[in-house]
Amino acid sequence: MSTSATGKLSREEWRRQKDLEAARKAGTAPAEVDEEGRAINPHIPEYITKAPWYVDTGRASLNHQRKEGYKSAQAVGINDWYDRGAKAGPAAKKYRKGACENCGAMTHKQKDCLERPRKKGAKYTQKDIAADEVVQDFQGDYDSKRDRWNGYDPASHRKIVEEYEAEEEERKKIREDEVDKQTSTAELAAVAKKEKKPKGEEIGDDDSFGGSSDEDEADEQRYAEAADAVGQKLDTKTRITVRNLRIREDTAKYLMNLDEESAYYDPKTRSMRDAPLQGVAPEDAKFAGDNFLRYSGDATRIQKLQMFAWQSAARGNDVHMNANPTQGELLHKEFLDKKEQLKDTTKVSILAKYGGEEHLEKVPKELLTGQTENYVEYSRTGAIVCGQERAVAKSKYDEDVMINNHTAVWGSWYDLSTGVWGFWCCHSTVKGSYCTGHAGIEANQESSAASLIASAAAREQERQERAEKSMAEQHLDKLAATGGNPEPTSSSSNAQFKKQRVGEQTDDISLDREKLRSALEAERKRKALGDDDAWKGTKKSKTTDVTEEEMEAYRLSRSENFDDPMANYKDEAL
| Residue ranges per structural domain of the chain | 11-65, 153-190+215-244, 265-353, 378-458, 470-486+512-558
Per-residue DSSP letter, 217: H
**Most confident of the following: 178-192, 295-309, 491-505:** 295-309
pLDDT at 210 over 50: no
**Mean pLDDT within 202-226:** 49
Burial of residue 105 (CB within 10 Å: 0-12, 13-18, 19+) is buried
Name the pTM for this structure: 0.24
**Percent of the chain residues past pLDDT 70, beyond the cut:** 73
Give dist(CA 275, CA 294) in Å, integer. 13
Q: How much is the pLDDT for 228?
A: 46
pLDDT at 101 (0 to 100):
94
Top-confidence residue, 571 or 447: 447
Point out the least confidently predicted range of 54-63, 212-221, 257-266, 548-557: 212-221
Residue 243 has pLDDT above 70, yes or no: no
User: 99 φ, ψ to 5°?
Assistant: -85, 175
**Helix, strand counts (H, E) of the chain:** 17, 8
- Least confidently predicted of 159-168, 170-179, 250-259: 250-259
Confidence bin at 531 (pLDDT 50/70/90) = low
**Tens digit of each residue's pLDDT (9 = 90 or more) over 3-51:** 444 567 899 999 999 999 999 999 899 999 988 888 999 999 988 988 8
Q: Is the pLDDT of residue 508 over 70?
A: no
Q: Per mean pLDDT, which range of 128-137, 142-151, 239-248, 565-574 is the poorest?
A: 239-248
Q: Is the pLDDT of residue 276 over 60?
A: yes
Distance of alpha carbon 470 from alpha carbon 466, whole angstroms: 8
The answer to whether the beta carbons of residues 422 and 429 sit under 8 Å apart is yes
- Flag the least confident range among 189-203, 257-271, 480-494: 480-494
**pLDDT-derived band of residue 230, with 50, 70 and 90 as boundaries?**
very low
Lowest mean per-residue pLDDT among 202-206, 291-295, 343-347, 357-361: 202-206
**If you average pLDDT over residues 266-279, what whole number do you get?**
86
Average pLDDT over residues 381-407: 79
- Count of other CB atoms within 10 angstroms of residue 259: 10
**For residue 244, pLDDT beyond 50:** no
Model pLDDT, residue 128: 92
The answer to whether the beta carbons of residues 507 and 489 sit under 8 Å apart is yes
Q: Which of 160, 138, 161 is nearest to 151 (CA)?
A: 138
Average of per-residue pLDDT values in the chain: 77
